[in-house]
Amino acid sequence: MFAIGRHPNVTGLGLEKAGVALNPRNSGVAVDNFSRTSAPNIYAIGDVTHRINLTPVAIREGHAFADTVFGKRTVEVDHTNIPTAVFSQPEVGTVGLTEEAARAKYSHVDIYKTAFRPIKSTMSGRDTRVLMKLVVDGATDRMLGCHVVGDSAAEIIQAVAIAVKMKATKADFDATFALHPTAAEELVTMRTPTARHVREAAAE
């Protein structure tokens, strides 16, 4: 599979004449946290800003724009912890920080990881496997990220994204009853970290 990316098609729109600046970092229309451009009374949302090119993100940005400009209610879109998926075979679902990003940002990072054959696969004789990884702040126990590869990964991640957005902890996951027999039950039954990372500076 090859993923080469894309760039916003903003040429030929006369943005320079309107005083709308482009972001030199990503070639999209430059906007602030409220989707305002460099030109007064001109806003930009969605793929043209080249922030996060997903339909639900553009819809949320549009709602925030309408609330802020016409609804007399200032709304800023939070672009963190957006769930995403790749609808390949197997599916890939992810929300929050990767292990690498978490280690760069936090001093203590705990990783919980498992790979297994779901019961429905063992009973049907299939060799389909599922991979799940939880990324946890080792200092506060807060869930920083969740990554799933396997059947229904996108469906699972959509639900887990609520917990990550609410700043749930690993203890919250541990205290949740498992729904057996499902693949998703592994998310609340992983008890032992497979890796614990501590920055040298933090360890001193």
Where do the domains of the chain lie? Answer: 15-69, 84-203
Question: What's the N-to-C CA distance of the chain in angstroms?
Answer: 43
In the predicted model, is pLDDT for residue 198 greater than 60? yes
Q: Give me the pLDDT at residue 197, please.
A: 97
In this prediction, residue 124 has a pLDDT band, given cuts at 50, 70 and 90, of low
In the predicted model, is pLDDT for residue 120 greater than 90? no
180 counts as catalytic: yes
Q: Which residue has the higher pLDDT, 126 or 110?
A: 110
Q: Which of 72-76, 119-123, 165-169 has the lowest mean pLDDT?
A: 119-123
Note whether 113 and 132 are within 8 A (CB).
yes
Q: Which of 50, 63, 180, 197 is catalytic?
A: 180
Q: Give me the pLDDT at residue 35, please.
A: 96
In the predicted model, is pLDDT for residue 108 greater than 70? yes
Nearest to 68 by CA among 102, 103, 35, 101: 35
| Site of tokens 């553009």 | 58
Question: What is the rounded average pLDDT of the residues 157-181?
Answer: 97
Distance (Å, rounded) from C-alpha 66 to C-alpha 102? 34
Domain 84-203 has CATH 1.10.3720.10: no
